[in-house]
Amino acid sequence: MSVQDLILNLHRFWAGQGCYLAQTYDLEVGAGTMTPDTFFRVLDKRPWRVGYVQPSRRPDDGRYGENPNRVQKHFQYQVIMKPSPVDIQDVYVRSLRSLGVALEDHDLRFDEDNWESPTIGAWGVGWQVLLDGLEISQFTYFQQCGGIDLSPVPIEITYGLERLEMFLEQKDDIYDLDWSADVTYRDLRFREEKEFSEYNFSVASVVMLRQAFGACQKEAARLIEKDLLLPAYDMCLKCSHNFNLLDSRGAISVTERVKMISQIRALVNDIARRFTTAKEGA
Amino acid sequence: MEFLLELLTEELPASHIRSALDQLEAGFRKELGAARIEIVSLRTLATPRRLVVVGDFAAGQEDREEVVTGPPLAIAKGPDGALTPAGKGFARSQGVDEALLEAIRTPRGEYLGFKRKAKGTPAAEILKDIVPRVLAALSFPKMMRWAESPFRFSRPIHGLLCVLGGTPVETSFEGFRASDETVGHRIASPLAIRARSFAEYTAELERNFVVVDPEARKRTILTGIEDALAPLTAKVYPDPELLDDLTLNVEHPLVVFGGFPEAYLSLPLEVLSMAMRAGQKLFSVVRDKKQLPYFLGVADAVADGKGLIRKGNERVLRARLEDARFFWDQDRKVSLKERAAGLKNVVFQEKLGSYEDKASRLKKIVSYLCDKLKAAEVKADTIEAAGLCKADLLTEMVKEFSGLQGRMGGLYAKQEGLPAAVHQAIYEHYQPGSLEDASPASLSGAVLSIADKMDSIVGVLGVGIQVSGSSDPFGLRRNAHGVCKVILDRKLRFSFPLLLDKVLAVYGDRLTVERAAVKASCLEFFEGRLRFMLEKRGSRYDLVAAALGPGLDQIYDVLPRVEALDSLKSSPQFEPFILMAKRINNILKGVPAAKVNPDLFVEKEERDLYSTFAIIRDNAQPMIARGDYARAQGITFKIQPVLNTFFDKVLVMAEEKKVRQNRLGLLQSINKMLLGIADYSQVVVEGEKPAKPKAPR
């Protein structure tokens, strides 16, 4: 099964669970959780089911294409179901079986791991899912997002597509994966990893990134005042990515780091608060 | 009557399971006790998905005699002894035959009343209320909500099996009606199971690949490990904590034996075992203290016939070891000294500055300590180690495995060819991490360990952060235990208050709390910690209090002081001596300091006492100075007969003021000498009411 087949399979499976299949969001994000299809949709009381592929950028994880497991951009398959279904663990297990994994021959474990993202004021309780010791998914009952207690509680399931595919293909090197029948992961991604590692660690302009961080932060605050919450949130995502780049350039001290994260969080929490009060008023 | 309860949940963290089982046992004991249901036996079991209670309870409350009282006898009966209308009314309202009424004596006087048999309530009826109450009271360090309910628990709940004497108890918890049903293993046999007895329950679960008893799972794991290692004549590196966690992580343990390429054996043992343990919870395999290229894991599975579980784990481990080797190679390209320059960007504590600031303070503190401990031979090396010891915080390896901090720095320092006293000190300076952990083996390590911890304690208390029962964000208790343990283990003698002065001086004006106040709170903090440690070693609380009486000038001395008390406490002289010391203490309460003038002695007995005291004091002083409290105490005991005669023959409170003050002055001198050994007034002797010990925290 290729990466492409894996994605098609997951799409079919989660569409069968009533999920709407969203398209990838068009901004750089660190995790599928950060896109509006999750962030805004978990805040209110309405039921919501969605599944989508989201590239996740973690500049610090760049390894110049030399590490068989780590990359500065990987692909997540993100599922949100709100409220969390009673049998969601069984549904998840069925999703693995639908990929052709004979679980009887393997060791599947729900291993305590509580997820949090201080940048968007979000945390949850759950597990990392291990298959023969390999972390293939994060499984989280979302408790808070944008600093707001979530009710109903959504379940978030994030599959690490490369990890899962390495398991399915029984391969040791990420670049040896088949994306489709005749395109490999190396064909698609190797050069990108090399160049972006160079960019993330050595070349990105610290001056430009700092300016961009400041400008996006200001713009977010201005847009919040105008009640343009979705554009304001986009600005926060840009702040977050610029921050990650500055971090991988080694340009941020520990104190500054805490300060910048809390600046973004303050904006995001403000957006979440306004978004929910506006909803309730309407 | 057999009771069986199973709460079926999603996978609970091991620490939550341990805490829940304690709470369940305590909860049922308390509630059943209060409800007068006799408990013949009660025990708890668990898997990651099941909290289980099994008990043997009485079928119901004992029937008991109940006394019902009515109006006072004076009102209920006339002078002739016949019932008044009030008395008759009471009988009527209770529906009781008048012939059964009798006088009931109470503390408030006599009343009309009667006795009746009250039928005990059946246990099934009582458990209806108790079960949901005990379950609802369970609390966890981190709790969650799910779906649409506001209810909070460790993880979502899926069912409640609750049977008493073969019949489901009519109860429910959070919307789950108690039944006789549960399910088997999530993957191997996720079928519904029925059970109405514990025997049936365990047998049915066993058939469906769930071993419900953690002890049985642990045995399976240990046997599996033994079987796997027997042909290798190798041993698993003992890790009881990991074993306990794994036992609670699986419903059906399967030991998986695997290997990794020998090339990775060039990595340090510390790195190998951390890479195996931290991510994948694997045991290391050793032979003659040398790591072998194998591992043992515990899967939650029935069998690994195709070897897929083993291969999968091998693949993941290889990737992790590859990462570790990358870090090990990368980190060694930059020397610790170069790396230490980056510590100025790493905050130790907001008000206390960076780790670079900390390192420069540590250099001064270890230099001082080496002088005081007359450790000139390691002074230069220890100062060098102090400057480098935090540099490994910036290595990739420590960023990945924070548990290796210190040890990594030591390993890198060794690779760089730094002297043994330097790399050992760096390696050991976080030790001991707990009271069970070993103190540094090297003197330089011991000195740096004390300096590092004292810097943290003085600094954190000095910016006004308090340690309370539940809050100790900088682990100051652990740090203080570490300091005391190193001092006691290595018998280090130096003035503790002067060390505090030195650390305070090194901080200069960085601290926000006034120096004298910081010093006082440090002394109080350490006194509390020493009290805790000594009581934990098994010394009597009053002897510990007595040994702490002379103060903390020498932390080490508290130990021989308490040991001296311990060894003499059963001698026949002990109790009279204590009583005498207490008598002196009582006489001197509120007495202003007075001087002794031998010319003012009137009686022979006071002259005798004075000369005996002078001899004893002159002998005891050097013993105290070198910390030989057992002998010092032995010799001071000899003052007792002379002092007894003194008290028999001499009136301390003499009429003449000068004589009186002189006698009080003599007793004060004696008291002062005793207080240098122990505060004997703290010792509790038989027949005395014990003073309430301070609760150790």
Cβ–Cβ of B305/A105 closer than 8 Å?
A: yes
Answer whether residue B467 shows pLDDT above 80: yes
What would the two tokens of residue A281 be?
């008023």
In sequence order, what are the beta bridge partners of B111? Answer: B72, B104
Q: Which of B584, B593, B440, B463 is nearest to B521 (CA)?
A: B463
The burial class, CB within 10 Å (0-12 / 13-18 / 19+), for B337 is middle
User: Which tens digit of pLDDT belongs to each residue from A161-212?
Assistant: 999 999 999 998 999 999 999 999 999 999 999 999 999 999 999 999 999 9
Through-space distance between the first and last CA atoms of chain B, rounded to whole angstroms: 41
Cα separation of A112 and B249, whole Å? 9
Q: Which residues of B touch A109 (CB under 8 A)?
A: 11, 249-250, 300
Would the CA dihedral through B390, B391, B393, B398 be positive or negative?
Answer: negative
Which among A103, A104, A143 has CB closest to B145? A143
Torsion angle of the four alpha carbons A78, A83, A85, A86, in this order, in degrees rounded to the nearest 10: 140
User: Which tens digit of pLDDT belongs to each residue from B350-400?
Assistant: 789 889 999 999 999 999 999 999 999 999 999 999 999 999 999 989 988
What would the two tokens of residue B284 be?
């290391």
The burial class, CB within 10 Å (0-12 / 13-18 / 19+), for B80 is exposed
User: Where do we find the tokens 């708890």?
Assistant: B44
pLDDT of residue B142: 92
Q: Mean pLDDT across the stretch A18-42?
A: 97
Answer whether residue A225 shows pLDDT above 80: yes
pLDDT of residue A221: 98
- When pLDDT is cut at 50, 70 and 90, the band that residue A279 belongs to is low
Residue of A109, A156, A176, A255 to mutate, interface with B, max B Cβ within 10 Å: A109
Which among B146, B304, B306 has CB closest to A84? B146
Q: Which residues of B touch A134 (CB under 8 A)?
A: 312, 315-316
Cβ–Cβ of B11/A112 closer than 8 Å?
A: yes
Q: Residue A46's closest chain B neighbor by CA?
A: B148
What would the two tokens of residue A122 be?
């979000």
Instruction: Give percent of chain A above pLDDT 70.
Output: 97
Cβ–Cβ of B301/A106 closer than 8 Å?
A: yes
Q: Residue B347's closest chain A neighbor by CA?
A: A254
Residue of B19, B148, B354 to mutate, interface with A, max A Cβ within 10 Å: B148
Cβ–Cβ of B319/A68 closer than 8 Å?
A: yes
- When pLDDT is cut at 50, 70 and 90, the band that residue B469 belongs to is confident
Distance between B426 CA and the closest CA of chain A, angstroms: 23
> How far lies A256's CA from each of A147, A206, A260, B350, in Å?
21, 14, 6, 12
User: Which tens digit of pLDDT belongs to each residue from B217-266?
Assistant: 999 999 999 999 999 989 998 888 999 999 999 999 999 999 999 999 99
In sequence order, what are the beta bridge partners of A131? Answer: A108, A134
pLDDT of residue A54: 98
User: Which tens digit of pLDDT belongs to each residue from B109-162?
Assistant: 889 999 988 889 999 999 999 999 999 999 998 999 999 999 999 999 999 999
pLDDT of residue A271: 97
Answer whether residue B208 shows pLDDT above 70: yes
pLDDT of residue B694: 47
Neighbouring C-beta atoms of residue B364, cutoff 10 Å: 17
Cα separation of A131 and A110, whole Å? 9
Distance between B239 CA and the closest CA of chain A, angstroms: 19
Higher per-residue confidence, B472 vs B29: B29
Distance between B428 CA and the closest CA of chain A, angstroms: 26
Answer whether residue B691 shows pLDDT above 60: no
Instruction: Give percent of chain B above pLDDT 90.
Output: 65
DSSP B97: -
pLDDT of residue B697: 43
Q: What single letter denotes the amino acid at residue B32? A: L
User: Which tens digit of pLDDT belongs to each residue from B186-207?
Assistant: 999 999 999 999 999 999 999 9
- When pLDDT is cut at 50, 70 and 90, the band that residue B688 belongs to is low
Q: Mean pLDDT across the stretch B166-185?
A: 96
Cβ–Cβ of B312/A107 closer than 8 Å?
A: yes
How many interface pairs between A and B have CB atoms less than 8 angstroms apart?
A: 115
Which among A69, A85, A106 has CB closest to B319? A69
ipTM above 0.90, yes or no: yes
Write out the DSSP string of B190-225: --EEE-SSHHHHHHHHHHTT----HHHHHHHHHHHH
Answer whether residue B592 shows pLDDT above 90: no
Q: Which residues of A touch B146 (CB under 8 A)?
A: 84, 141, 153, 155
Neighbouring C-beta atoms of residue B172, cutoff 10 Å: 15
Q: Mean pLDDT across the stretch B494-507?
A: 96
Cβ–Cβ of A112/B315 closer than 8 Å?
A: no
Distance between A87 CA and the closest CA of chain B, angstroms: 9
Cα separation of B288 and B525, whole Å? 43
Bridge-based pairing of strands B192-194 and B181-183 is antiparallel
pLDDT of residue B687: 61
Answer whether residue A67 shows pLDDT above 90: no
Q: Which residues of B touch A69 (CB under 8 A)?
A: 319, 322-323
Answer whether residue B518 shows pLDDT above 90: yes
What would the two tokens of residue A245 be?
């780049």
Answer whether residue B41 shows pLDDT above 70: yes
Q: Which of B439, B430, B388, B434 is nearest to B409 (CA)?
A: B388
User: Which tens digit of pLDDT belongs to each residue from B305-331?
Assistant: 999 999 999 999 998 898 899 899 989
Cβ–Cβ of A172/B319 closer than 8 Å?
A: yes
Strand intervals (E) in chain A: 20-21, 48-57, 73-82, 108-112, 116-117, 122-131, 134-145, 148-149, 155-160
Neighbouring C-beta atoms of residue B518, cutoff 10 Å: 24
Answer whether residue B80 shows pLDDT above 60: yes
Answer whether residue B493 shows pLDDT above 80: yes
pLDDT of residue B696: 45
Q: Which residues of B touch A82 (CB under 8 A)?
A: none
Cβ–Cβ of A153/B145 closer than 8 Å?
A: yes
Residue of A116, A125, A162 to mutate, interface with B, max B Cβ within 10 Å: A125
Interface of A with B (CB under 8 A): 67-70, 83-86, 89-90, 93, 103-112, 114, 124-125, 127, 131-134, 141, 143, 151-153, 155, 167, 170, 172, 253-255
